[in-house]
A = this chain, B = another copy of it.
Amino acid sequence: MLPAFYAGRRVMITGGLGFIGSNLARRLAALGADVLLVDSLIPDYGGNLFNIDGLEGQVRVNVADVRQASTMNYLVRDREVIFNLAGQVSHIDSMRDPHTDLDINCRSQLTLLEACRHHNPGVKVVYASTRQIYGKPERLPVTEQHLVRPTDVNGINKAAGEYYHLVYNNVFGVRACSLRLTNIYGPRQLIRHNRQGFIGWFIRLALEDQEIQVFGDGSQIRDFVYVDDAVEAFLRAGATDAVNGEAFNVGGDEHITHRDLVELLVAIAGTGRFRFVEWPPEKKAIDIGSFYTDASRFKAATGWAPTVPMREGLTRTFAFYRAHYDRYVGGGEGAAPS
């Protein structure tokens, strides 16, 4: 069904040079879609031209900021599906500079949705939300019935971004849905700094044979999704009208403690080591304890299920970064300057 749906389909990916966006672009190109990537290449945000290395001639790249209304009004016009992944994803940056996070995670979403409302109301939009909007869970696994109670500004603004999509679906008929992604990992993730979640950073440290510091006793549980499975979730959401107007958890079936995760990382990498350290107070203040989601609503609606086990996904990930280390850590020409 997906090959038939996406062959020749005119799609746009905002944040298309980023981690998930570029993996999605590769899959869509392979499916024969007409792929337009929009990315602002803001330093430190995850956009990296090397992410689409080898896709020359198969995708179009338009460097632009989603906040810029006239640009978006033009770019959305002939698109049939928009995968809306552009955003500021650092919790920590959002607490240092909340106004910028607001601009990038809220204003940009309104600009995109207004562009669709006025210039392409027939488009379908799939929004990349995050499990982070739930905050500290009251019970596990977390279903979509759990209250949204973000613990940082980034989580708040991501929640607002999601709600805009659902309101534009319900009120203006711009078909849209939202995927609340758990921890996604895999090739092409930003590992240049440690402000965008811990998994990419841990992978880099293991790769560099450095020490990974695990906060507390490492007993916090997380679920993970390999990026190819996340891409599959976006494709199915984009092709399924049954999900319109709804937000869904997209999470992994494997739950793993931080302790077991770093043991696995070090074992697969064959390099690196780890040590348990006290929680830094500023991180403890926005920590949420254990977290894993129940993705059964999304599975039922779309038939999606994760297929790549963590051991396999991490093995592929380390192989990728070993082959292309300079493009993600050094000052390689493909990387956005930081």
A300 contacts the other chain (CB 8 A) = no
- Proximity string of chain A (66-109) to chain B, C-beta cutoff 8 Å, 1 when within and 0 when not: 00000000000000000000000000000100110010001100
Contacting A99 at CB < 8 Å: which of B110, B148, B163? Answer: B110
Listed stretches A27-35, A149-157, A265-273, A291-299; interface member = A149-157
A167 to B157, alpha carbons, bound, how many Å?
A: 12
Cα A190 to Cα B90 in complex, Å, equals: 41
Residue interface mask A1-33, B partner, CB < 8 A = 1:
000000000000000000000000000000000
Which chain B residue lies CB-closest to A286? Answer: B171
Q: Give chain B nearest CB distance to A187 CB in angstroms.
A: 33
Query: When the two chains form the complex, which single residue of B99, B113, B163 contacts A150, counting CB atoms closer than 8 Å?
Result: B163
A 106-133 binary contact with B (CB < 8 Å = 1; else 0): 1100110110000000000000000000
Residues of B within 8 A of A98 (CB): 110, 113-114, 164
Bound-state CA distance A160–B49 (Å) is 34
Q: How far is the CA of A106 from the CA of B158 in the complex (A)?
A: 13
Chain B residue nearest in CB terms to A157: B160
Check: A145 CB closer than 8 A to any chain B CB: yes
Of B95, B114, B160, which one neighbours A156 at CB under 8 angstroms?
B160
Q: Find chain B residues with CB under 8 A from A102 CB.
A: 102, 106-107, 110
Within 8 Å CB of A110, what residues of B?
A: 98-99, 102, 153
* Shortest beta-carbon distance from A117 to chain B in Å: 10
Extra pairs beyond A151-B171, A152-B167, A160-B160 (8, CB < 8 Å): A99-B114, A102-B106, A102-B107, A102-B110, A150-B167, A157-B160, A159-B159, A170-B285
Which A positions have Cβ atoms within 8 angstroms of B?
Answer: 95, 98-99, 102, 106-107, 110-111, 113-114, 145, 147-153, 156-157, 159-160, 163-164, 166-167, 170-171, 285-286
